[in-house]
Amino acid sequence: MKFIKRSDRAQPKVSLILLDWSVRESFHLLNYLSRQDIDRDLFEVIIIEYYSRISDAIRPVEAQVDSWLLLEMPDDCYYHKHLMYNAGIVTAKGEICVICDSDAMVKEGFIRAIITEFENNPGIVLHIDQFRNTRKDFYPFNYPDFAEVTGKGCINNVGGKTRGVVDDKDTIHNRNYGACMCARRADLIEIGGADEHIDYLGHICGPYDMTFRLVNSGHREIWHQAEFMYHTWHPGQAGEDNYLGPHDGRHVSTTALDALIRERVHPLLENAAIRQLRLSSDAPDSTRFEISPAHFKAWRKDKLRHGQQWIAGNTFRKSRHGFVIDRTPEGFVGYPKVLDHPFFSKAREALELRAATESMLLERLDNEISGDLRRLLPIIGTLTYLSRAFGLAFLYLQRRLLRFSQGVA
Amino acid sequence: MLLTHRIAFRWHQFRDETQGLVEGFQSLLVNLVCLKLKFPEKQSVIVILDSRREAVMLWLLWLCNILPRYEVWVIRRAGDLELRLQRDFGGELLLVASARVFCKHYGLLVELRRQRRLIVL
């Protein structure tokens, strides 16, 4: 781990954490940060590079970078953004940490909007959504106007706001949780920072892991209604050919969703430096950031299965047909998920099933399901597949017909 | 992206998402049956879903006498949920939300979970 540069800003209010894993071609956000309408000492910029590359893309705008840290992870390790988030949180001097895209555009009032929002609303986690434009003539990035990015080629502009902010149908998939997340550093440390569990290795990850756990700990999630980021197309932006951890089919981590459902506040795997900050009252020292030696082995590229989902089996707790399966020192225990709720937990001991091996327990759990329902489950599964296939085919044809009638090829 | 890559990408997306739906709904059914069998006194249940298809399946299961006839809310938008929650429920009611609907509208449902008996399956 090596610092190329260290921040000498005495008391910044905001720390921007920007990530790279030797892939970024442009850090044009830095140009836009140089034009902010507030005192430059109110914010600091931290660049975290996962490997050892000193990016040429940063050199022209290096004056805007306050801290530049190379994690120097071995080349045979796959990238894990949450490790970089934690490095940023430990390094940050600001009261508010901002994790955002480094290849997006922001307006002059971006930092001011963040500071104002935190001054007006205590106990929040703030997100800022992003306009996305798919025009390929903006690549390589050629500094288009904001109006051009929200104009022709923009896929989510609804009356000057992003579709995700306007639409309340499926916010978790329609909003860009990775665009910009802002939270108080103390709050992030309190929840144990970003989760370094292997489920978040590669493309399926994001600051929403921390957002969900902050919400579970009582914070209010808000989305800025007037301030946005602006993103233009570049190759590989959808994570094509990246390794994917467990997700819900639409690239939202099921491990993070599980944390939300189960009200989990702390990460499955906490960084040692974050834990030290959480438990001690000493003044934080940025040199203390630690990378667990176990990661070098667990995150090796040759252990991954490219293009396939990780079978989430690293945690002891599993779920099958609505039953929770837990490992105990004596063997395995299973019970219906509903008994997890405090309202029913008294009955849990009487209703849980135990077995020496997992296969024996699965057999016993299957027998717990009544015969009628057991026979119906595969039929319900097949009907779900068929109805979704027909529904999606109908939607696709409807869109094609609409485009055809509008004279678009 | 090559056409074959795009097709493979869409297929994986469809398969993963549908499998998640199937497993989520199976989990809901198994636990509703468990509620019916093991806690027959807890009859005041409202099931919150985000899919009409799943609501129809619950209704069919009631016709087959596998499940009691629960009140079902199909929530498509957060606004619908806000309207429904304005109702006075009484003290004993149990709300059961599918994991999917909980994740879609967690902003409202996390608050609700703090105030009422809400189970996420």
- Asked if A385 reaches chain B (Cβ–Cβ under 8 Å), the answer is yes
Q: Which domains, ranges and CATH numbers included, belong to chain B?
A: 3-120 (3.40.50)
The distance from CA A301 to its chain's CA centroid, rounded to whole angstroms, is 21
Residues A186 and A331 in one domain: no
For residue A116, pLDDT beyond 50? yes
Across the interface, whether the CB atoms of A341 and B78 are under 8 A apart is answered no
> For position A313, what pLDDT does the model report?
45
Comparison of pLDDT for A241 and A13, the residue scoring more: A13
Report the residue of chain B nearest A344, measured CA to CA: B39
Same domain, A359 and A408: no
DSSP-derived secondary structure letter, B121: -
Q: Which residues contact B76 (CB under 8 A, 6 or more apart)?
A: A169, B50
CB A70 within 8 A of CB A288: no
Give B-chain residues touching A249 at CB under 8 angstroms: 12-20
The residue assigned the tokens 């080349």 is A75
Shared-domain flag, residues A192 and A330: no
Please say whether the beta carbons of A343 and A301 come within 8 A.
no
Asked if the structure places residue A373 within a domain, the reply is: no
pLDDT (0 to 100) of residue A309? 46
Amino acid at A332: F
Helix (H) or strand (E) holding B53, with range, is: helix B52-63
User: CA of A2, closest CA in chain B: separation in Å?
Assistant: 37
What's the gap in Å between the CA of A338 and the closest CA on chain B? 6
Query: What CATH number did the domain enclosing A225 receive?
Result: 3.90.550.10
CA distances from B26 to A216, A273, A322, A380, A398 (A): 26, 41, 7, 8, 31
Mapped to the 3 state alphabet, what secondary structure does chain A carry? CEEEECCCCCCCCEEEEEEECCCCCCCCHHHHHCCCCCCHHHEEEEEEECCCCCCCCCHHHHHHCCEEEECCCCCCECCCHHHHHHHHHHHCCCCEEEEECCCEEECCCHHHHHHHHHHHCCCEEEECCEEEECCHHHCCCCCCCHHHHHCCCECCEECCEEHHHHCCCCHHHHCCCCCEEEEEHHHHHHCCCCCCCHHHCCCCCCCHHHHHHHHHCCCEEEECCCCCEEEECCCCCCCCCCCECCECCCCCEHHHHHHHHCCCCCCCCCCHHHHHHHHCCCCCCHHHCCCCHHHHHHCEHHHCCCCCECCCCCCCCEEECCEEEEEECCEEEEEEHHHHCCCCHHHHHHHCEEECCHHHHHHHHHHHCCHHHHHHHHHHHHHHHHHHHHHHHHHHHHHHHHHHHCCCC
* Block residue for tokens 């001097």: A93
Judgement on whether residues A278 and A212 belong to the same structural domain of the protein? yes
pLDDT recorded at residue A105: 96
In this predicted structure, what is the pLDDT of residue B79?
83
Residue A256 maps to a domain:
yes
Mean pLDDT of A36-61: 94
The Cα A254–Cα A199 span in angstroms is 9
User: Are A239 and A358 in the same domain?
Assistant: no
Burial class (CB in 10 A: 0-12, 13-18, 19+), A333: middle
Best residue of B1, B19, B27 to probe chain A, by most A CBs closer than 10 Å: B27
On whether residue A142 sits in a domain, the answer given is: yes
Strand partners, A44: A15
A84 and A210 fall within a common domain: yes
B window 58-87, beta carbon within 8 A of A: 61, 64, 66, 76-79
Among partner residues B18, B53, B77, which is closest to A168 by beta-carbon distance?
Answer: B77
Q: Does residue A376 lie within any of the structural domains?
A: no
Contact A370 B66 (CB under 8 A): yes
CB pairs under 8 A between A and B: 127
Say if A310 falls within a structural domain.
Answer: no
- For A280-335, the pLDDT digits (tens) are 866 555 557 889 999 999 899 887 765 454 444 445 677 888 888 888 888 899 99
Determine the residue of chain B that is closest to A258 in CA distance: B99
How high does pLDDT run on average in chain A? 89
Q: Is residue A377 part of a domain?
A: no
Q: Give the DSSP H/E element, type plus range, for residue B10.
A: helix B3-38
Q: Indicate whether A6 and A105 sit together in one domain.
A: yes
B7 touches chain A (CB under 8 A): no
Instruction: State the Cα–Cα distance between residues A352 and A366, nearest whole angstrom.
Output: 13
Query: Which residues of chain B register pLDDT less than 50?
Result: none
- Domain membership of residue A400 as a residue range: 382-409
- Residue B119 has its nearest CB partner, among A263, A323, A338, at A338
Q: Which residues pair with A182 in a beta bridge?
A: A98, A126
Query: Are A353 and A394 in a shared domain?
Result: no
Contact (Cβ atoms closer than 8 angstroms) between residue A17 and residue A48: yes
- For chain A, say whether B5 makes contact (Cβ under 8 Å): yes
Residue A256 phi/psi, 5-degree rounding, is -70, -40
Q: Does some domain include residue A245?
A: yes
Strands A67-70 and A96-100: unpaired
Give the model confidence (pLDDT) of A168-210 as tens digits.
888 899 999 999 999 999 999 999 999 999 999 999 999 999 9
pLDDT at residue A3 above 60?
yes
Q: Assess B16–A contact: CB distance below 8 Å, yes or no.
A: yes
Residue A386 banded pLDDT, cuts 50, 70, 90: very high
Burial class from Cβ neighbours inside 10 Å (0-12, 13-18, 19+) for residue A409 reads: exposed
Beta-carbon neighbour count of residue A251 at 10 Å?
18
pLDDT digits (tens, 9 = 90+) for A335-357: 988 888 877 878 888 888 899 98
Beta bridge partners of A14: A43, A96
User: Residue B22 gets which letter from DSSP?
Assistant: H
Query: Do A46 and A177 fall into the same domain?
Result: yes
**Residue A285: predicted pLDDT:** 53
Kindly state the average pLDDT of the residues A236-246.
Answer: 74
Question: Is the same domain home to A344 and A199?
Answer: no
A99 plus A123 within the same structural domain: yes
Q: Are residues A119 and A256 in the same domain?
A: yes
Q: Is residue A374 part of a domain?
A: no
Least confident of A28-37, A43-52, A223-232, A284-293: A284-293
Residues 6+ apart with CB under 8 A from B116: B89, B93, B95
Q: Across the interface, do A250 and B13 touch by the CB < 8 Å criterion?
A: yes
- Evaluate if residue A96 carries a pLDDT over 70: yes
Please list every residue in chain B whose beta carbon sits closer than 8 Å to the beta carbon of residue A380. 22, 25-26, 29, 57
Chain B residue whose CA is closest to A340: B119
B119 touching A (Cβ < 8 Å): yes
Residue B75 three-state SS: coil
Q: What is the pTM of this model?
A: 0.89
Provide the domain count of chain A.
3
Q: Do B16 and A221 touch (CB under 8 A)?
A: no
Say if A240 is an interface residue toward chain B (CB within 8 Å): yes
